Amino acid sequence: MSAALVKPVLYSYFRSSCSWRVRIALALKGIAYDQEPVNLLKDGGQQFSTEFQVVNPMQQVPALKIDGVTLSQSLAIIQYLEETRPNPRLLPQDLKKRAQARMISDHIVSGIQPLQNLSFLKQVGEKKLEWAQGSIARGFQALEQILQHTAGRYCIGDEVSIADLCLVPQVYNAERFKVDLAPYPTITRINKALLELEAFQVSHPCRQPDTPAELRA
Amino acid sequence: MSAALVKPVLYSYFRSSCSWRVRIALALKGIAYDQEPVNLLKDGGQQFSTEFQVVNPMQQVPALKIDGVTLSQSLAIIQYLEETRPNPRLLPQDLKKRAQARMISDHIVSGIQPLQNLSFLKQVGEKKLEWAQGSIARGFQALEQILQHTAGRYCIGDEVSIADLCLVPQVYNAERFKVDLAPYPTITRINKALLELEAFQVSHPCRQPDTPAELRA
């Protein structure tokens, strides 16, 4: 069977915001895939197992087996999907808007998420809620300002882009960490509009194969 | 004067690894630009000033004024340069190799750098050397393994790519934080090969307009 005919396999954890980004991309592009859950808490973290180390030496989800290769890092995966399965597009056609979409994505992916993710907070110890809230609040303050220049219905004008795939999972984390979202009306409005779309609903953490029964919705 | 005829302005700090990535891209692509130094230490951090807040609400360097817009986030900037000034290319032509180049870049930019940068270490307080060393060592362990599958003379085969632009500044930081590099022979070898290239030399932290006299080389 040729690599293109094999269904992609997504190594994912229902609550991982990085995994969710990729699930949204797969849903928007209508790509059928299988999920291989990796429980980041069980057995001291299944991402550290010898088996998973072979899949992804970075010991993180998501990882996607597709077209005969295994890719990791959510934005690299999403951009590979964009280049191999361009419809519907997740990067705007206009080059400056493309840059802005990537800028917002990178701001969330490297500026906010790393300072509030599970493996980081474990190391921080008892001050973890403070750290998570502080990182998200600082990041959202900047993001709210940037969106004044770029947003329409969504982060970049009225077309769903890679930036939106990063925004929604980050807002979900903000809610988990009880960050007050009142100072960020634009973020809140865009998040709400995006959650109305089917691709964001089917990929939601409350609806994955590994979502525990008590968290399902 | 049309936007394309105005020289780009790079807001940069000589020792910022994220700024260095962009300086390498500008040098490789032969783009003339002016530098506007932003001292991350002076006056409590000039990136927090009201003036700079207008340039980049993320309060970080680099930021690049180019073609009538101001962009931030190093990878977004580099990919904008790639899309508007494609020669020489910094993303491989082969789509799987492009994905790997982005994967390595993202691993460094969001997996390593945020947990050893200046603003983060300030918040960590007294354990900052431990944090920096731990973050870099964990990241390099994974990277060393990934490079076994992707590297030639450079990170992705024998062509300089965006991954190399991230690697060299990260190794520079590792050396500053006295990380033992012996366990990472591939990283060390690639770094050395890259530092022989002019674009990596002219963009080096020891050779910028804002490099203090005692650190110049």
Q: Do B75 and A106 touch (CB under 8 A)?
A: yes
Secondary structure element (H or E) that encloses residue A53, with its range: helix A50-55
Closest CA to A67 of B57, B98, B38, B141: B98
Q: Taking a C-beta distance cutoff of 8 angstroms, is the pair B85, B32 a contact?
A: no
pLDDT band at residue A186 using 50, 70 and 90 as cut-offs? very high
Which residue shows structure tokens 């930081």? Answer: B173
Q: Return the CATH superfamily for domain B9-88.
A: Glutaredoxin (3.40.30.10)
Contact B77, B33 (CB under 8 A): no
pLDDT of residue B4: 58
- Residue A18, CA distances (Å) to A59, A190, B73 in order: 13, 19, 18
Q: Is the pLDDT of residue A90 over 80?
A: yes
A197 in the Ramachandran plot: left (φ > 0), alpha (ψ -120 to 50) or beta? beta
Any idea which of A22-36, A142-156, A191-205, B105-119 has the lowest mean pLDDT? B105-119
Domain boundaries, given as residue ranges, for chain B = 9-88, 95-200
Q: Could you tell me which chain A residue has the CA closest to the CA of B66? A: A96
pLDDT beyond 90 at A84: yes
From residue A49, alpha-carbon distances to A12, A38, A57, A62, B7 in Å are: 14, 10, 10, 15, 51
- The predicted-structure confidence for B123-149, as pLDDT tens digits, reads as follows 888 888 998 999 999 999 999 999 999
| Average pLDDT estimate for A2-6 | 67
Half-sphere exposure of B134 (CA within 13 A, CB side): 11
- CB-nearest to B99 from A71, A99, A115 is A71
> What contacts A98, CB < 8 A, 6 or more positions away?
A91, A92, B79, B80, B83
CATH topology of domain A95-200: Glutathione S-transferase Yfyf (Class Pi); Chain A, domain 2 (1.20.1050)
Q: Do B114 and A115 touch (CB under 8 A)?
A: yes
Q: Which CATH class is domain A8-88?
A: alpha beta
Number of residue pairs across A and B with CB atoms under 8 Å? 113
Structural tokens at position B103: 């994967």
Whether B9-88 shares its CATH topology with B95-200 is answered: no
pLDDT at A61 over 70: yes
Residue B102 touches chain A, beta carbons under 8 Å: yes
- State whether residue B83 sits within 8 Å of chain A by CB: yes
Q: What are the φ and ψ backbone dihedral angles of A166, each rounded to 5 degrees?
A: -85, -35
Q: Which pLDDT value is given to residue B128?
A: 87
Mean pLDDT taken over chain A: 95
How many angstroms separate the CA of residue A217 from the nearest CA in chain B?
31
A109/B107 touch (CB, cutoff 8 Å), yes or no: no
State the nearest Cα–Cα gap between B95 and chain A, in angstroms. Answer: 7
Query: Token pair of A174, please?
Result: 């903000």
Chain B interface includes A170 (CB < 8 A): no
Mean pLDDT per 10-residue segment, chain B (217 residues): 78 97 98 96 91 92 97 98 98 98 97 88 85 94 97 98 98 96 98 98 97 94
Token digits of residue A140: 């959202």
A98 in contact with B, Cβ within 8 Å:
yes
pLDDT of residue A92: 98
What ipTM was assigned to the predicted interfaces of this complex? 0.95
Residue A12's DSSP bridge partners are A37
pLDDT at position A145, please? Answer: 97
